[in-house]
Structure 1
Amino acid sequence: MELTAADVPALVRGAEVLGSGGGGDARAGGVLVSRLLRGGAVDLLDPAAVDPDLLVAAVGMVGATVVFTEQLPGGGEFARALAAAERWTGLRAGALASIEAAGLNAATALVTALAGAGPDGALPVVDLDLCGRALPRLDQFSLAVAGSDITPLALALPGGQVVVVDGGDAVTTERSVRSVLAGGGGWAALAVAPRPVRELLEHALAGTTRRVLDVGRRLLALPDAPAPAALARAADGEVLAAGRVLEVVRHRGAGGGFGGGFGRGSLVVRDRGTSTLLRLEMENEYLLALADGDLVATTPDVLAVLDRRAARPVSCDRVRRGDDVVVLRLDAPAFWRDPARLCAVGPRAFGYDVDPVLVDPVSAAEAHP
């Protein structure tokens, strides 16, 4: 499958949905991809159909997404991070993947492929990633949760510095990377050292970019102000509420994530049809939903807040009182439903002392045939 400029709007819209209110501004990634494509294309490969020994490097952006969008990179930062990871290991990537097929990171593998394109064209991108949705921490990469190393990895900072992190467990690596970001401009391009597809098929999530594109195409095909049920069908999700945002509360630096440094907040939506009050708890992403006080949905299912008229997702940092929205729940990738992995991305991983409440994929499929 080839990705061209015509696919960018769908990539952006689907990435916004899978961002679950976070993951950074997917439009910024779309701008970079469109600028670099210039009529060209990038091959999107099915990981099950390629040489299992093909070496793949996962790339992406980490850090403060607001800073990133204020000063867009030229794209070379991702290529520098990849080159550093290759030099450190002596391994050359034959293809790329994204660390996170959501938010702006849904585009970073494409940006890296195009920015580093040589006489033979851009590197191909393998359709897999390390999150399957937006997640805030490196220790939540699927590689780490499945027991594999996430190092060595390389960071290319906006000021031109390149840092390689090697050794240590995933939590230590997360702490080290955040320290580098704090003193280096707030964000960095990241590249995880190349590893064979056979390992990634065991420890990563496949088909995620196609999911992003499919959701984006269906949403873009909707008419203006679609019915909530139509939005749910397009996104392969279910409606939790549709109505006005009555309240938005934010608390800086009070989150329960790694180090407690992420801001936390909540919003309340009154359903127009039932008058149910749906409360969403949020950190970097929307994490929990309570209907009239009863817990009805949690991470790792994707909670998406969409503007009712434009069918466009509204991020945690942009939602405002008075917004007319539809709140959807999309099922989590099967990878995260394994009880051995669920604890790493469920509510308790973010400091909420509640059990996960996940949608039944079979029931959702029956509700939206």
Structure 2
Amino acid sequence: MRTLTSIDVGHFSTGANFLACHIDPAAVFAYEDMIQRALPTGDVRLLSVGELDPEDLVVALGFVTQGLAIADMPPVGDEFIGCIREIEKKLGRKVSALYSLAAGNINGILPLMAGLQTALPIVDSDPMGRVLPLISQTTLSLGGVDISPIAVMGVTGERATLDVKDPHRAETLVRSLVIELGGWAATAMYPCTAKQLREHGIHGTMTRMIKIGEILDAEEAVERKYVQLVDLLNATRVARARVRHMESFSRERELGLPTQTTSLTLVDEVTGHIIRLEIENEILLVLVDGAVAAAVPDIVTLLSAEFGRVVNLDDVRVGHLLDVVVTPAAPIWYTDAGLNLAGPPAFGLPLQHPRRHD
């Protein structure tokens, strides 16, 4: 077990932003600020799933949003406590530890605040190993672990508890509720035993966010940071290229998937390669001279070539010189089952993933 310090929390926030592949980091840094302010009143304890009793009850926490940015209407602060209590009431037993629904973005860091509020430890595991847009896109779902009961609490304090076996049906119901509840909701789901999380989760992901933050927050040369990212993440710098063109268009998508699509065209100033990024609130596809260099579930991050800092999609402008960095997802996502659930076909991209394996 590890008790996180204020410095750890700062690094955690940076790592969550690196792995987010998202547009607006405001909610991540807002939660970091809340956690930093609350740290003097309690501890955030991070433990491995193996430190728990196999039959201990653990539950995933995460925000689900549908059209309203969390920063636009901040939480009151008791939403996740309410969700945890609803799960305990439904199952008739106490929750022993919390884990994140996704290892990145706001869902990566919010369990730290819930841990401070409840005095429950945070498990160094999650069921995505990155950020994916749908609550059904988890390794727990691949492993046959029930997603329900699901506790949902909205911005106005209204709440609901759902019993639904099919994770895809759960996706539809939760998204519909979120719209009615005001645009975002706190949720607790995938209540399972520590044994089930150990068997079907992805481990060490919370610690990984801290280590990424340690690298990116350090006062070191950019090239030194890349060497360390490669060692830690098996990451690859696909290109250092300048943004030449941006375009946006909308098309109909299934419930839960973003509707705004963006494409970026960059040119590598050394090799002349044309880099094309296809984006739907995260970078789904990287093409180099028309060939697939990376595709979801690969984690694609844009970094400032000058400072080695994360550049969020909303901040990208024509003329920016960026490093396109690709981090592999957990190996299970490159199996046939994993790619069918969270790979290119799940996002309407009819292509064979270059990392696919049996």
Specify if TM > 0.5.
Answer: yes
Is the 2:241–2:266 Cα contact (8 Å) retained in structure 1? yes
The 5-angstrom pairing of residues 140-151 of structure 1 reads: 140-151=137-148
Supply the distance in 2 between the matched residues of 1:57 and 1:162 (Cα, whole angstroms). Answer: 17
1:49 to 48, 51, 55: 51
Supply the distance in 1 between the matched residues of 2:194 and 2:239 (Cα, whole angstroms). Answer: 40
Instruction: Quote the residue 2:242 is aligned against.
Output: 244
Tell me: CA distance 1:230–1:269, structure 2 relative to 1, closer, same or farther (3 Å): farther
Deviation sequence 1:240-274 (CA, Å, 0-9, x none):
1112211222223x265546653221111211221
Is the 1:232–1:328 Cα contact (8 Å) retained in structure 2? no
Which secondary structure state, in structure 2, belongs to the residue aligned with residue 183 of structure 1? Answer: helix
Deviation sequence 1:280-299 (CA, Å, 0-9, x none):
11112111100011111111
Name the aligned partner's letter for residue 246 of structure 2. V
The 5-angstrom pairing of residues 1-369 of structure 1 reads: 1-21=2-22, 25-38=27-40, 40-64=42-66, 67-116=69-118, 122-192=119-189, 194-223=191-220, 226=223, 229-230=226-227, 232-233=229-230, 236=233, 237-252=235-250, 254=251, 256=253, 258=255, 261-358=258-355
Name the aligned partner's letter for residue 56 of structure 1. V
Deviation sequence 1:142-191 (CA, Å, 0-9, x none):
22222222111111101011111112411111111111111211111110
Instruction: Quote the residue 1:367 is aligned against.
Output: none
Which secondary structure state, in structure 1, belongs to the residue aligned with residue 164 of structure 2? Answer: coil
Q: TM-score if structure 2 supplies the norm length? A: 0.91
What's the CA shift for 1:141?
A: 2.1
Tell me: CA distance 1:146–1:2, structure 2 relative to 1, closer, same or farther (3 Å): same
Aligned residues: 354
Runs of 4+ that moved beyond 4 A: 22-25, 224-232, 255-261
Q: Which runs of 5+ in 1 are unaligned?
A: 117-121, 361-369
What's the CA shift for 1:64?
A: 4.3
Tell me: CA distance 1:180–1:207, structure 2 relative to 1, closer, same or farther (3 Å): same
Supply the distance in 2 between the matched residues of 1:33 and 1:338 (Cα, whole angstroms). Answer: 37
What's the CA shift for 1:202?
A: 1.8
What's the CA shift for 1:332?
A: 1.0
Is the 2:150–2:188 Cα contact (8 Å) retained in structure 1? yes
Q: Percent identity?
A: 32
Is the 2:46–2:123 Cα contact (8 Å) retained in structure 1? yes
Tell me: CA distance 1:48–1:326, structure 2 relative to 1, closer, same or farther (3 Å): same
Supply the distance in 2 between the matched residues of 1:270 and 1:224 (Cα, whole angstroms). Answer: 24
Structure 1 vs Structure 2 CA RMSD: 2.3
